[in-house]
Amino acid sequence: MFKKTMALLILSLSLILAPACFARHRILLIATTTSTDNTGLLDYLAPQFQKDTGIELKWVAVGTGKALALGRNCDVSALLVHAPQAEKHFIKANYGIKRTPIMYNDFVIIGPNSDLANIKGNNATNALKKIAETNSIFISRGDDSGTNKKEKQLWQKAKITPPKKSSWYLQSGQGMMATIGVTNEKNGYTLTDRGTYIKYAANHDGKPSLIILTQNDKALKNQYSLITINPKRCENTKYNSAKQFRKWLVSKKTQANIDNYKLLNKTLFIANAK
């Protein structure tokens, strides 16, 4: 009888306390780029964030254009993206409250060792001109991602409009890692962020088929920033949790952890919170 009574008491207490436990368990859903996901950076940071704040971080990895759309639709509470011009328009339209620089890396143009367009060592503008002049295969993401936006800017700077239907200019419509895979299959060139390229190289034991041919160009800087969604537009946004995430990301501890995240002993992102 005593055991039965105790069992009922424990069950009753668990039912009473369960809602409180669930209430304490907070989840923050953000939209981010495929690069922060593909590289494993968020998998590395998320457990630390939960340990420090009690908030579980979940994310949807898409191109920046789609991430901004998720923000406008109130589907997420924050964005970690890398298309500065589009981000500023997002803030100006009052969809976001604050844009905070978190880290950066750079874009690179990769291609096969054979380098038929002879772009090695060229800046981005000249590299794209040579690719177009030689009709060498170039794989664009074509997905309105931050990388795709940067690529369009670079073509514009080179004063070239890639043809929509072409034997050499192709669009994958996929994320960065998948696009690198298509580029490898086609023995072509593509623009990628350095972090995802390092992850690709690590997946191939440091001996990838595609190599970096164009890099260290000021035009190729790749800034990542956090934007919190405006609660006046999105009533259900987890604004307080998003603010905590921002505060946590810019802390000295997290900034150091971002700098220390490496693959093949190479730094993928450089922290630069302001």
Complete DSSP assignment for 141-188:
--S--HHHHHHHHHHHHTT----SS-SSEEE--S-HHHHHHHHHHHT-
Judge contact between 228 and 243, C-beta under 8 A.
yes
Q: Measuring CA to CA, which residue among 269, 235, 258 is closest to residue 49?
A: 258
Q: Which residues contact 174 (CB under 8 A, 6 or more apart)?
A: 141, 143, 182
Answer yes or no: is pLDDT of 4 > 70: no
- 210 & 227 share domain: no
At residue 7, the pLDDT reads 40
- 175 & 245 share domain: no
Tell me, what DSSP letter sits at residue 189?
B
**pLDDT one-digit tens code per residue, 202-261:** 999 989 999 999 999 999 999 999 999 999 999 999 999 999 999 999 999 999 999 999
- 60 & 196 share domain: no
- 55 & 157 share domain: no
Q: Domain count of the chain?
A: 2
- 23 & 126 share domain: no
- 178 & 230 share domain: no
Q: Which CATH number covers residue 82?
A: 3.40.190.10
At residue 18, the pLDDT reads 42
Answer yes or no: is pLDDT of 70 > 60: yes
- 115 & 215 share domain: yes
- Scanning the chain, the segments in alpha helix (DSSP H) are 2-24, 34-38, 41-53, 64-72, 84-92, 124-133, 146-157, 176-186, 194-203, 239-249, 252-260
Q: Which pLDDT band holds residue 1 (cuts at 50, 70, 90)?
A: very low
Q: Which pLDDT band holds residue 24 (cuts at 50, 70, 90)?
A: low
- 159 & 196 share domain: yes
- 8 & 99 share domain: yes
- 48 & 184 share domain: no
Task: Give the phi and the psi of residue 257 in degrees, each rounded to 5.
Answer: -65, -35
Structure tokens at 6: 């105790």
**Which of residues 220, 235, 259 is at a domain's end?**
220
**Which of residues 200, 220, 240 is at a domain's end?**
220
- 87 & 144 share domain: no
Answer yes or no: is pLDDT of 274 > 80: no
- Domain span including residue 71: 2-105+223-271
At residue 164, the pLDDT reads 84
At residue 165, the pLDDT reads 84
Q: Across all residues in the chain, what is the average pLDDT?
A: 91
- 232 & 162 share domain: no
**pLDDT one-digit tens code per residue, 26-46:** 999 999 999 999 999 999 999
Mean pLDDT confidence for 142-152: 95
Q: How far apart are CA 51 and CA 46, in angstroms?
A: 9
**Which of residues 201, 220, 239 is at a domain's end?**
220
Answer yes or no: is pLDDT of 101 > 60: yes
Most distant CA pair in the chain: distance in Å? 89
Mean pLDDT confidence for 183-205: 96
- In the chain, % of residues over pLDDT 70: 91
